[in-house]
Amino acid sequence: MSGLIPQHFIDDLIARADIVEVLGRRIQLKKAGHEFKACCPFHGEKTPSFTVSPQKGFYHCFGCGAHGTALSFMMEHDHMTFVEAVEDLARMMGMDVPREESERPAQRYDSLFDLMRRVELFYQKCLRAHEPAKEYFKNRGIDGASAQRFGLGYAPAGWDKLLNEFGGTAAAKDELHAAGLVIKKDDGNFYDRFRDRVMYPIRDARGRCIGFGGRVMGNDEPKYLNSPETVLFHKGQELYGLYEARQALRQIDQLVVVEGYMDVIALARHGVNFAVATLGTATTDEHLNRLFRLTDNVLFCFDGDRAGRAAAWRALENSLPQLREGRQIRFVFLPDGQDPDSLVNAHGPKAFEEALAGGMALSDFLVDQLAQSVDMTTVDGRARLAELAKPLIAKIPEGIYRELLLERLAESVGLAASKLELMISNHKPARHAAIAKPRVRRANNSKGQPSIIRRAITLILNHPSAAANLEAERLEHVNRPGVEILRQLIETLQAEPNLSTAGLLERWRNKEDGRHLGKLAAIELPTMEDFDAEAELGQCLSQLETMGRKDRVERLIEKGTLGELGDSERAELRELQKRP
């Protein structure tokens, strides 16, 4: 987590790193005026529309919209996590990454990682020596190369095989226990957790083994057994096969979430390298974050039976908060009785890819599924559908995606989208309902012209130094969408006047608005020479100040009509109304 790396270090790293050097090591850049151009590495093109601005520390592709800082590029291009990119860039600059006091997990868990690695190799050795396990994999169509790539192994039968191999001392036994590999008995002794099972190592983003999945070869129960939660292994975060997919693919266009390890491996063996599996849990927010860090295109693949539909619905509910423009989620249902493993083994990868192509958009699945639970031929039934949709829509962040889904839904219930939206905004808790009305009105007002707030934010992102003398206090009474970000940007630059565009974006990396800021930062590339950003910004702020006064007057009058106006507020209102 970035929280462990102090912000000042990231500021410093970004200020010192030369984006041209970082990108130039990975793609061919050509100088063009103050900037550099290249053929975009994220989409196929012949003429370069990928632009790098050394001054802003920012890149942007006019073709596909990819954009970001040196760190973003390393994450996207090399599929690194944020921390990996920071570490890599720091190494390149000869800087040491400081960690904030609390803890240094990487160091603390070194010996556990090492133990997991040794156990993984032990299980692999046992597989080579155990014919029935080898036979089991062979019968399921797994070749040697796949077994090696996924590190498949076998946990021998017996209660103490692992204990005897690795648990020589009390400390070693405790470590096995901490790694979830042995179970503690009431008498304080231990026994092996995995016995007579084929073993699937589960790896983290760096390829380190953090846990295991074990499957029986016969009909014993439980069929599947996973490592318990440990300091290394958090089921709700990990995706089986993600590391292997990142290794196999230079560019990840899409990721498909399937149900089991064998599905992932069977698909990979047939050249479908973009499948991952959750580990016996429903898809979590954290899973989706990881998926969407790598691609905008996520598919969920389920059995077509009732259980599959139910699992898909849970995935849909968990996905809603992640939806936004540019992201695509689709649901694929395989014919009854089929899973990806059996499908691809029986009919080849083409059949699987065809099934994917026939996937349902999230919006279609949502409307379909709701429509099945009501009688769509009656007015009451359609009203009921709108009612059912309310809590779901309320989970989707405001934006184009939500609007499109509302339209889709409105169409199927025979209501105007605006009316449906009103119904849904009323779904929010009472506190929010009170402000829902003015908000809707404002959204309509601002439709035609790009808002001044948006313009001010764009100016600041493109010319951070121009904001040095602005006073955030002038925005005090402005009550419009986006003003909070504008205020924060100004305050950030007052505290850190030397932040570049890239530095600002890094500050917003983990915030919800970060994506929007990235888009706005790209707007004015390339910079014009004779452009006075400071003067422009000053004008924006004056206009906003005027707006703020109007908002304040409106608010005070509203209070007045409710009889809630205090003496000082009454005086304030009189004073405000005198001004132009």
Q: How far is the CB of 42 from Zn ion (least distance, A)?
A: 5
CB 514 within 8 A of CB 505: yes
Stretch that binds Zn ion, among 35-43, 175-183, 211-219, 316-324 (CB under 5 A): 35-43
Q: Is residue 519 at the binding interface for Zn ion, with CB under 5 A as the rule? A: no
Stretch that binds Zn ion, among 37-45, 228-236, 412-420, 462-470 (CB under 5 A): 37-45
In the bound state with Zn ion, the residue whose beta carbon lies nearer, of 13 and 40, is 40
Stretch that binds Zn ion, among 61-69, 227-235, 418-426, 537-545 (CB under 5 A): 61-69
Name the amino acid, one letter, at 385.
L
Q: How far is the CB of 549 from Zn ion (least distance, A)?
A: 44
Give every CB contact of residue 234 below 8 A, 6+ residues apart in sequence: none
In the bound state with Zn ion, the residue whose beta carbon lies nearer, of 53 and 479, is 53
CB 53 within 8 A of CB 59: yes
Among candidates 327, 311, 310, which has minimal Cα distance to 363? 327
Among candidates 225, 268, 266, 277, which has minimal Cα distance to 249? 268
What's the Cα-to-Cα distance from 453 to each of 424, 495, 515, 534, 543, rounded to whole Å?
A: 26, 21, 16, 15, 10
Q: How far is the CB of 63 from Zn ion (least distance, A)?
A: 4
Q: How many residues bind Zn ion (CB under 5 A)?
A: 7
In the bound state with Zn ion, the residue whose beta carbon lies nearer, of 44 and 158, is 44
What's the Cα-to-Cα distance from 215 to each of 107, 175, 197, 198, rounded to whole Å?
A: 32, 23, 5, 5
Q: Is residue 253 at the binding interface for Zn ion, with CB under 5 A as the rule? A: no
332-361 positions binding Zn ion, by CB under 5 A? none
In the bound state with Zn ion, the residue whose beta carbon lies nearer, of 43 and 293, is 43
In the bound state with Zn ion, the residue whose beta carbon lies nearer, of 42 and 191, is 42
In the bound state with Zn ion, the residue whose beta carbon lies nearer, of 76 and 303, is 76
Q: Is residue 61 at the binding interface for Zn ion, with CB under 5 A as the rule? A: yes
Q: CA 451, CA 184: separation in Å to the nearest integer?
A: 63
Among candidates 102, 125, 111, 104, which has minimal Cα distance to 178? 111
Q: Is residue 43 at the binding interface for Zn ion, with CB under 5 A as the rule? A: yes
In the bound state with Zn ion, the residue whose beta carbon lies nearer, of 367 and 522, is 522
Q: Is residue 63 at the binding interface for Zn ion, with CB under 5 A as the rule? A: yes
Q: Is residue 64 at the binding interface for Zn ion, with CB under 5 A as the rule? A: yes
Within 5-57, residue ranges assigned H as helices are 7-16, 19-24
In the bound state with Zn ion, the residue whose beta carbon lies nearer, of 64 and 310, is 64
CB 120 within 8 A of CB 153: yes
Q: Is residue 522 at the binding interface for Zn ion, with CB under 5 A as the rule? A: no
266-285 positions binding Zn ion, by CB under 5 A? none
The 10 Å Cβ neighbour count of residue 113 is 17
Site string for Zn ion, 308-327 (x = CB under 5 A): --------------------
DSSP summary character for residue 482: T
Q: CA 370, CA 291: separation in Å to the nearest integer?
A: 26
Q: How far is the CB of 45 from Zn ion (least distance, A)?
A: 7
Q: Bridge-partner residues for 38, per DSSP?
A: 50
In the bound state with Zn ion, the residue whose beta carbon lies nearer, of 64 and 379, is 64
Q: CA 153, CA 134: separation in Å to the nearest integer?
A: 9
Residues that bind Zn ion (CB under 5 A): 40, 42-43, 61, 63-64, 66
